[in-house]
Structure 1
């Protein structure tokens, strides 16, 4: 944050927002990049490829078409959904890298749900107030169900 020292007012920094990785989602089978692993960790072929993979995993975790926020925890996400995501990943990853990808997906999904609750639930005393703060990318019905689950 920047401070205007003359007035003492804080100015919020402009941020770019969450990455969407549109180019990676649009890749066809032949355009996928290879990721190699060493001792269970992604090491590239390059650092850029690993970074792109991590960002891509985050976009999947935030995408309601893959995983809704209504699961009570990562263990409740069905194996069918996890398998569908694994098959969708637009990188060439050896089978031994599946655990790393799924762990990253789990962590990103948990972070996303925690951020939604922190940003859109905490500090709002009523359901109506929370609904007014609903992010546009979450359907109203799903957001209402998430509020109900969170209040139990």
Structure 2
């Protein structure tokens, strides 16, 4: 419960929109892909909006268990086949020199997602049963249980 100490009242929880899903970008066909140009290894556009969409899109891939599960022990354990499949899936026209930038962004987003899952659904819950009750709907129960077991070691 959040308390506003200035007025002594209880604050309502702020409503948030949730994570972006980028459905329109995932639904693009090859002809609809937007070009991203790079300068000194950084994505610069053609517009800031395109770069922002690319960053958001990378985040959706990192959170999508169909691409990368949470069961990898680290980014180095993600196979090159998976990384290549993701690179081929990215619905933007990106020069080969931009691949490192995309993969670094994907790595960082995946690590952030894994850390947030552990912080939100593991920390503060003393038993496995309590953690399982907090399981996010998008993570299968078996996979979440394996993640708990890995995290306890």
TM-score normalised over the length of structure 2: 0.96
Count of paired positions: 152
TM-score normalised over the length of structure 1: 0.96
Q: Shift of the alpha carbon at 1:12?
A: 1.2
Instruction: Render the CA deviation track for 1:12-59: whole Å, top value 9, x for unaligned.
Output: 100000000000000000000000000000000000000000000000
Secondary structure (helix, strand or coil) at the match of 1:11 reads: coil
Instruction: Answer yes or no: is 1:31 the counterpart of 2:32.
Output: yes
User: Does structure 2 conserve the Cα–Cα contact (< 8 Å) formed by 1:4 and 1:11?
Assistant: no
Secondary structure (helix, strand or coil) at the match of 2:11 reads: strand
Q: Which runs of 4+ in 1 moved over 4 A?
A: 1-7
> Unaligned 5+ residue runs, structure 2?
none
Cα RMSD between the aligned structures? 1.6
Instruction: Render the CA deviation track for 1:57-93: whole Å, top value 9, x for unaligned.
Output: 0000000000000000000000000000000000000
Instruction: Render the CA deviation track for 1:113-133: whole Å, top value 9, x for unaligned.
Output: 000000000000000000000
Q: Shift of the alpha carbon at 1:10?
A: 2.3
